[in-house]
Amino acid sequence: MRLKDVTIKSKLYGMTALSAIAMMVVLGLSIWCLETFRVNGPVYRGIVRDKDVVADILPPPLYIVEPYLLVHEAEQTADLESVRAIEGKVAELEAGYRRRWEAWEAQLPADELKALLLERSAQPAEEFFRVAREEYFPARERGDRTAAKAVLAGKLRDAYERHRLAIDRTVAIAADRARGTEVRTAERVRFWVRTMSVVSVAAVAGLTLAGWLLTRHIVRSADVLIRRVDELAAGGGDGAGERVHIDSRDEIGLLAAGINATIERMRGVIQWSRDAEEEATHLRHLLRNIIDSMPSVLVGVDAEARVMQWNREAERVTGVTAAEAMGRELHAILPQLRPQIGLVSAAVADRTVQRDERVAWDRPDGRHISELTVYPLITNGIRGAVVRIDDVTTRVRLEEMMIQSEKMRSIGALAAGIAHEINNPLAGVLQSAQVVLRRISSDLPANRAAAEECGTTVEAVNAYLGRRGIPAMLEGIHSSCERAADIVTNMLSFSRNSGSQVAPHVLADLVDQAVELDRSDYDLRKRQEVREVEVVCEHDRDLPAVPCRASEVQQVVLNLLKNASQAMAARGRRADAPRIVVRTRGDGNGGACIEVEDNGPGMPETVRSRVFEPFFTTKPPQSGSGLGLFIVYCIVTRNHGGRIDVESAEGRGTRFTVTLPLGKES
Amino acid sequence: MGEATTRVMVVDDDAVVRASLCAYLEDEGFGVVCAGDAAEALATLEREAVDVAVVDIRLPGMDGQSLILHASRVRPGTRFLVYTGSVSYELPDSLAGLGMTRENVLQKPARPISLLAEAIRRLAGKRIGVE
């Protein structure tokens, strides 16, 4: 097991235990040293004892010099009483000596010194005191001074000398010993002081080093972890970041492993959330795309008609960007929808689809018809609606055109039928009138023969008829019938086979010729009601030749020009000069167009919708037949399989657009 | 006159038109016979030949076109002038097959009426078919 695998807890406990042990060792040593070398301690006492021995021995009573001197004093005196007094003192000293001996016997350890002092010195001392007591002082008592003197010089002196030798030796030994003990003690004290210093320093250094190493390890590992955790918290790097590399199995290692596991999980979570976000973004873009790809204006609004969603078509149609539209009320952005805004609240309240199929919407490029549909949003507790606005202008125009074309077809059929029915009686009247005129003239031989048979003359009959105004009436019948026949002929002139064949013609040339014809017609007739009108041609020279009947197409252009220049009369006073533009161009869809555009007064819808009907005219009764545009319509639609559209804005002008198929004539 | 007189038959169901047309053509010097319908016209042709037949298209019973087809078999030398009030009359292929063209069609009413006489004279002067 490696050291780095030992847990920090164990290391800290170990450190604490080691510190305690070291402290105890140092403390124990200190206590032991103090105890050993303290005052009255064993060492101290050893030294003191040895010194005491010397001090105690040299003076009496243990050193028996005093009794020996007292015996000598007694020898000098003859007075018995004095001798007895001295004998008493010696006895006191003996008792003192005994007490001291017992004291030392108890104090001294059994060593050489004790033997010397309490045996080798004590034996002669005991001998001395016994001899003095049993031999010397009894001899004096008897008065035998000679005997006494002999005892003193003999036995007593001998005992004293031996005693003194032992004492001298004891003192020498004790002094030596005391000196040796002091030296040894000093050495021991030095040794232990050194030892304790070394142990203490070693303990402090060791513990400090171990503590520093441990602290460094913890701090370094913790720093690495803290940095990583900080990075994680700050979301630095790529968020999930690198794994923490700590190769140990202690708490830091476990913590690192935990952080690594957390990082792994966070990576997973981050990846998951990225995936989810990506998917959500993808879905959002897809929905956005779908909504933006719709050809309809799609606007999401809340219950108060404030815009929440604004698609690209809405931006395109209104010129208002989604960012500008957000949160604003729909009718504030599109004031023309103000009358319909109630549909939103109705849709939200009733949860039903609301619709307005004809919303007029004036845009810079003209009036558009919109269909407005409001779908309530009924899911997820959202209160609001989706407003769909479809430009149905083309569809409505197409429907109108279909109705128009149907109407025109039935009118055409009706007119043809009526013409047929009228032509017969007309022929009857006209022929009869002409026959009558011829039969009253004098030219025919049969007339003369008949007059003669009747007993009169042609001249007389004529004179009579002239008187009664008959020829004039016959002329009247004739001219009235001619007019009626003219009307029928004009009305159906387009359907009469004109003789010209369908052939490819360059529209620009046909138009130019028609414009030239119109101009000469104008110069010829000098129509008073029409002011000078400028006619401008704009041709697409790349337009291929169009299969058509030249004379009919020219009639179409002529009629349209005539219609336009007559419309100018009602133009009123305007800054711009009256002007007609005749344009040829491709329609981009396999067709060729002739446009005749004026800047006249325009016409209201009620006029526009009926403008091709025969005999429909807004002009004074004498100025037109009301058939010009009807003929145009029939030539274009029936004879050429083409189409004619009319756009008009009151006060701005009118544009007729004739579209002829470029392909095979239908 | 006699031999030189051009024989014309007018076939029209409208009595006034028929009468005035006959009167006009008589005045113009033609030898004229009238018929109110196809049956009468065919019966006339059985009896006598005409140079030119002026035929209305819309007739009660057999129409003018069928009449012309029948008549051309009965009297192969006959020339026909279609005189119709219809404004959009086109010669059918069957009549074109007889050699008829736009010259054989006149819009009713003829204005001026002299167009009729001119057309008849023109047709009468033509040699068509083989006797």
pLDDT tens digits along A235-263: 654 555 566 677 777 787 888 888 888 87
Alpha carbon A157 to chain centroid, angstroms: 127
CB spacing of B14 vs A429 below 8 angstroms: no
The verdict on A330 touching B (C-beta cutoff 8 Å) is: no
Q: What is the DSSP letter of A144?
A: -
Instruction: Say how far apart CA B7 and CA A650 lie, in whole Å.
Output: 64
- Nearest by CB to B109, from A431, A496, A499: name it: A431
Work out the mean pLDDT of chain A and round it to a whole number.
83
Out of B27, B90, B108, name the one closest to residue A427 (CB).
Answer: B108
Instruction: Please give, rounded to a whole number of angstroms, the shortest distance from the CA of B131 to a CA of chain A.
Output: 33
- Residue A439: which of B21, B27, B90 has the nearest Cβ? B27
Q: Which range, of A60-64, A352-356, A361-365, averages the lowest pLDDT?
A: A60-64
Choose the closest CB to A435 out of B14, B20, B111: B20
Which residue bears the tokens 């399989």? A641
Nearest CA-CA distance, residue A492 and chain B, Å: 7
Chain A residues closer than 8 Å to B106 by CB: none
Q: How many CB pairs lie under 8 A apart between chains A and B? A: 79
> Which pLDDT tens digit goes with each residue over A133-160?
888 888 888 888 888 888 888 888 888 8
User: In a mutagenesis test of the A interface, which of B26, B89, B91, B111 is the best target, namely the one with the most A β-carbons within 10 Å?
Assistant: B111
Residues A41-65: pLDDT tens digits? 777 877 777 777 667 665 555 677 8
pLDDT at A231 > cutoff 80: no
Which positions in chain B touch A614 (Cβ < 8 Å)? none
Which residue in B85, B110, B111 is closest to A424 by CB distance?
Answer: B85
- Give the pLDDT band (50/70/90) at residue A111: confident
Interface of A with B in 484-513 (CB under 8 A): 485, 488, 492, 495-497, 499
Q: Strands B52-55, B7-11: parallel, antiparallel or unpaired by DSSP?
A: parallel
Q: Looking at residue B128, what is its pLDDT? A: 47
The reply to whether residue B24 touches residue A438, judged by beta carbons under 8 angstroms, is: yes
Q: For residues A200 and A194, give the distance between their C-alpha atoms in angstroms, rounded to a whole number.
A: 10
Checking if the pLDDT of A181 tops 50, the result is yes
First to last CA, chain B: 23
Q: What is the pLDDT of residue A112?
A: 77
Task: List pLDDT tens digits, range A632-651.
Answer: 888 888 888 888 989 888 88
Q: Which two tokens stand for residue A447?
A: 């007339």
**Minimal CA–CA distance to A50: which of A116, A6, A3?**
A116
Distance, in Å, from the CA atom of A130 to the CA atom of B34, rounded to the nearest integer, reads: 225
Closest approach of A416 to chain B, Cα-based (Å): 7
State whether residue A477 sits within 8 Å of chain B by CB.
no
Of B23, B88, B112, nearest to A435 by CB-CB distance is B23
Q: Do B16 and A432 touch (CB under 8 A)?
A: yes
User: Which of A103-107, A333-337, B63-67 is modeled with the greatest confidence?
Assistant: B63-67
CB proximity A220 to B under 8 Å:
no
In the structure, what pLDDT confidence band is assigned to residue A666 with cuts at 50, 70 and 90?
very low
Comparing A477 with A614, which gets the higher pLDDT?
A477
Q: What is the torsional sign of CA A104, A106, A108, A114?
A: positive
Task: Choose from B14, B81, B82, B87 for mutation: most chain A CBs within 10 A.
Answer: B87
pLDDT reported for residue A665: 41
- Region A479-495: what's the mean pLDDT? 76
Residue B2: the pLDDT is 42
Q: Helices (DSSP H) in A58-121: which residue ranges? A: 65-76, 80-107, 112-115
DSSP track, A161-230: HHHHHHHHHHHHHHHHHHHHHHHHHHHHHHHHHHHHHHHHHHHHHHHHHHHHHHHHHHHHHHHHHHHHHH
Question: Which one, of B52, B108, B59, B61, lies nearest residue B81 by Cα?
Answer: B52
Write down the pTM of the prediction. Answer: 0.47
Read off the pLDDT of each residue in A410-435 and give the average, rounded to a whole number: 85
pLDDT at B40 over 90: yes
ipTM: 0.86
Q: Of A32-46, A127-141, A614-628, B45-59, where does the model show the most confidence?
A: B45-59
Cis amide bond preceding B109, omega within 30: yes
Average pLDDT over residues A569-581: 79
Give B-chain residues touching A498 at CB under 8 angstroms. Answer: none
Report the pLDDT value the prediction gives residue B130, as an integer from 0 to 100: 35
Nearest to B87 among A416, A429, A499 (CB): A416
* CA gap A501, A639 in Å, rounded: 11
Check B21 against A431: CB less than 8 A apart: yes
Out of A376-380, A428-432, B56-60, B117-121, which region has the weakest mean confidence (pLDDT)? A376-380
Residue A526 has pLDDT above 70, yes or no: no
Chain A 433-472, residues with CB within 8 Å of chain B CB atoms: 434-435, 438-439, 444, 446
Cβ contact (<8 Å) for B20 and A431?
yes
